[in-house]
Amino acid sequence: MQRLKGIGVSPGVVSGRAVILIQRAHVLRYQIGPARVADELRRLDDSRAASREQLVDIRQRVAQRRPEIASLFDAQLLMLDDPMLVPRAADIVRRQRVNAEWAIQQVFDEFSAVFDEVADPYLRERKGDVADLVGRLRMNLRQGVAIPRDLLNEVDEASILIADELTPSLAAQVDWTRVRGFATDAGSRTYHTAILARSLDVPAIVGLHNASQQVQPGDLVVLDGSASELIIDPGPDELARAAQHSEDHRPAGDADGHRRRPAATADGVRIRLDANIEFPDDLAAARYAGAEGIGLYRSEFLLSGAPPGQDGEDDTPPGTVPNEDKQYEIYRSMIAGMAPGAVTIRTFDVDEDQLASRSAPDTLAGGWAGEEARASRQGLRGLRLSLTRPELFQVQLRALLRAAPHGNLRIMFPFVSSVEQLRHARTMVRDARAELARRGEQLPPVPIGVMIEIPAAAYTADLLAREVDFFTIGTNDLIQYCLAVDRADARVSQLYEPLHPAILRMILMVRRAAKRRRIPVSLCGEMASDPALLALLVGLGLTEFSMTPGAIPVAKEVLGELRSDELRALARRVLRLPTIEEIERELVAVVSKSILTRSQP
């Protein structure tokens, strides 16, 4: 038995098997079942084969122009066959039953430790080669990998999540009906972990320093949030105490009805919470989470053929655009499935390369790989691309309009940077309508909106507002273009900051422009799924949001604890503050206070 001390941020005592989640260097570590070991070993082999092919190819290409560099790749090819690399990783997979990415990372860490010791500068230099090779192996492992979202849903019942850090977007992917509590290495009573734990109503401890290293996947642990203690390998007394606590705190009442109640602040201001989805199948998750509608369907995921893990359900090969009838069928069933709730379908948001070949990693739904790929796209993308491909755009518009009578559809254009583009797109909608009328189709009017995700659109929101039926603020792109930060670039990604004063002002500006023209405005970027940021956005006057389905229950809980007048006052103070740090402090003070005082034992 071993006891680790941290900071309890949510009371209660629970026991369960540990699930470890480590995001260090973007490598997740998770336990795999015995049945999956063979799959992981195969993934390792495939990744080695792909890496070899790529290295041989690169070597050949550089050999003609820069023979001296070609030898570097010879060295990497040799390393690829070194028994201390891939075979060692395979051994770790077998013995520790962990995923291949983590095994490779561990091998790299072992290598690094050895290289750091050696005095010979030439040998020390080789560490860079190993890092490069490991990076390549990891990249190749990503191809076709099951996304963490699925993995987090696969955990056993009665698990305790132990993570180095639990970000809101990660927490949104966890199946909290199975995870009984969580503990993190990082953190003090910081706003998001504390709020998360409280709103999820699970015991939690933060600031455990290295619990994610000390606890092994599958270890039996007791987490005591009240005593700020994580017990590894507990004795019968500790287990009995945890069992007694669970008995005393069995949830009562109608959990389903609770989930479906509409969101509102403590003083009764209605807040609309919709879901962001990527696949028609996500509709069930959205409904289960209590979404009122779909605020963003990323229709470009249609272009990737069958969704990952559902081979054979769709006969559209990757890279092919489904024809009008096929698209109509998908849109129709989605709109009908959510009726009377509204479904906002965004027209394809891809660039030329992605259109030519919707290959990995962007075909992964929602996970980190998808985020990164989305984050780095610019140029001829979104509506801009659709306008240059009228044949493609017309097919999508006709399919959408035909589906409209089956429910409550809204059409939204992505990546709009000017009124001209919007007018051009509306003309195309009229053309699609005219064509359908010729075919004898009677169609209802459909609201047309734009995403505000380029600073130019935010600055001209007053002009755009005159010509659309609704706005949706896309902060994922807006933040990166406003702050000139490419999120995929690790050197500057720490500057990607939703609380930057420029972002808050832009959001306020768009909200005001929408209000003046009396058109609805919603916000669908990731920032809405962070409860503290959501609170501030409500303070800025927004009342409609769309987020990943898993974040909706938490958002409802948190909103129900906060008063809108206090949030407005908070936003007024925050808008006068010059730095992110001061803004964050102000936010923590207000939001944590409300949340933390509500259910203190």
- Minimal CA–CA distance to 30: which of 146, 134, 132, 138? 146
Query: Interface with ligand PEP includes 298 (CB under 6 A)?
Result: yes
Give the one entry of ligand PEP, Mg ion, none that residue 358 binds, where binding means its C-beta sits below a cut-off of 5 to 8 angstroms depending on kind.
none
Tell me the HSE value of 263 on the side-chain side, using a 13 A CA sphere.
28
Give the one entry of Mg ion, ligand PEP, none that residue 298 binds, where binding means its C-beta sits below a cut-off of 5 to 8 angstroms depending on kind.
ligand PEP
Could you say which of 192, 245, 482, 500 is catalytic? 192
Q: Is residue 189 helix, strand or coil?
A: coil
Residue number with CB closer to Mg ion (370 or 474): 474
535 touches 542 (CB < 8 A)? no
426 touches 393 (CB < 8 A)? no
Query: Interface with ligand PEP includes 477 (CB under 6 A)?
Result: yes
Considering only residues 120-149, where is the footprint of ligand PEP by CB under 6 A?
Answer: none
Q: Is residue 489 helix, strand or coil?
A: coil
CB within 8 Å of 204: residues ≥ 6 apart:
8, 9, 10, 181, 182, 183, 184, 193, 196, 197, 223, 225
Q: How far from 569 is each of 123, 363, 565, 572, 589, CA to CA, in Å? A: 60, 42, 6, 5, 13
Rounded to a whole number of angstroms, the minimum distance from the CB of residue 364 to Mg ion is: 16
| Cα(392)–Cα(301) distance, integer angstroms | 15
Residue number with CB closer to ligand PEP (296 or 355): 296
138 touches 25 (CB < 8 A)? no
Rounded to a whole number of angstroms, the minimum distance from the CB of residue 512 to ligand PEP is: 20
| Cα(99)–Cα(76) distance, integer angstroms | 23
CB within 8 Å of 564: residues ≥ 6 apart:
265, 267, 269, 538, 539
Residue number with CB closer to Mg ion (179 or 355): 355
| Cα(577)–Cα(584) distance, integer angstroms | 10
500 is catalytic: no
Helix (H) or strand (E) holding 179: strand 179-184
Give the one entry of Mg ion, ligand PEP, none that residue 525 binds, where binding means its C-beta sits below a cut-off of 5 to 8 angstroms depending on kind.
ligand PEP
Residue number with CB closer to ligand PEP (219 or 477): 477
482 is catalytic: no
Rounded to a whole number of angstroms, the minimum distance from the CB of residue 131 to ligand PEP is: 30
Query: Interface with ligand PEP includes 453 (CB under 6 A)?
Result: yes
Give the one entry of Mg ion, ligand PEP, none that residue 475 binds, where binding means its C-beta sits below a cut-off of 5 to 8 angstroms depending on kind.
ligand PEP
Strands (E), 470-598: 470-473, 521-523, 544-547
| Cα(295)–Cα(277) distance, integer angstroms | 8
What x-and-dash track marks residues 446-475 binding Mg ion by CB under 5 A?
-------x--------------------x-
| Cα(382)–Cα(350) distance, integer angstroms | 5
Could you say which of 245, 482, 500, 524 is catalytic? 524
| Cα(163)–Cα(174) distance, integer angstroms | 12
Rounded to a whole number of angstroms, the minimum distance from the CB of residue 477 to Mg ion is: 4
CB within 8 Å of 5: residues ≥ 6 apart:
208, 228, 229
Residue number with CB closer to ligand PEP (274 or 453): 453
CB within 8 Å of 244: residues ≥ 6 apart:
none
Residue number with CB closer to ligand PEP (460 or 476): 476
- Minimal CA–CA distance to 335: which of 441, 409, 410, 445? 409
The DSSP code sequence of 307-349 is: PTT-TTS--PPTT----HHHHHHHHHHHHHHHTTSEEEEEPP-
Query: Interface with ligand PEP includes 476 (CB under 6 A)?
Result: yes
Rounded to a whole number of angstroms, the minimum distance from the CB of residue 301 to ligand PEP is: 10
Q: Which stretch binds ligand PEP (CB under 6 A): 73-81, 178-186, 472-480, 593-601?
A: 472-480
Tell me the site size for ligand PEP, rule CB under 6 A. Answer: 11
Rounded to a whole number of angstroms, the minimum distance from the CB of residue 282 to ligand PEP is: 14
Rounded to a whole number of angstroms, the minimum distance from the CB of residue 287 to Mg ion is: 24
Considering only residues 477-496, where is the footprint of Mg ion by CB under 5 A?
Answer: 477
Rounded to a whole number of angstroms, the minimum distance from the CB of residue 279 to ligand PEP is: 14
Residue number with CB closer to Mg ion (224 or 453): 453
Nearest residue to ligand PEP, scored by beta-carbon proximity: 474
Considering only residues 516-555, where is the footprint of ligand PEP by CB under 6 A?
Answer: 524-525
Residue number with CB closer to Mg ion (194 or 457): 457
Query: Interface with ligand PEP includes 374 (CB under 6 A)?
Result: yes
- Footprint on this chain of Mg ion (rule: CB under 5 A): 453, 474, 477
- Footprint of ligand PEP on this chain (CB under 6 A)? 296, 298, 349, 374, 453, 474-477, 524-525
Query: Which residues are annotated as catalytic?
Result: 192, 524
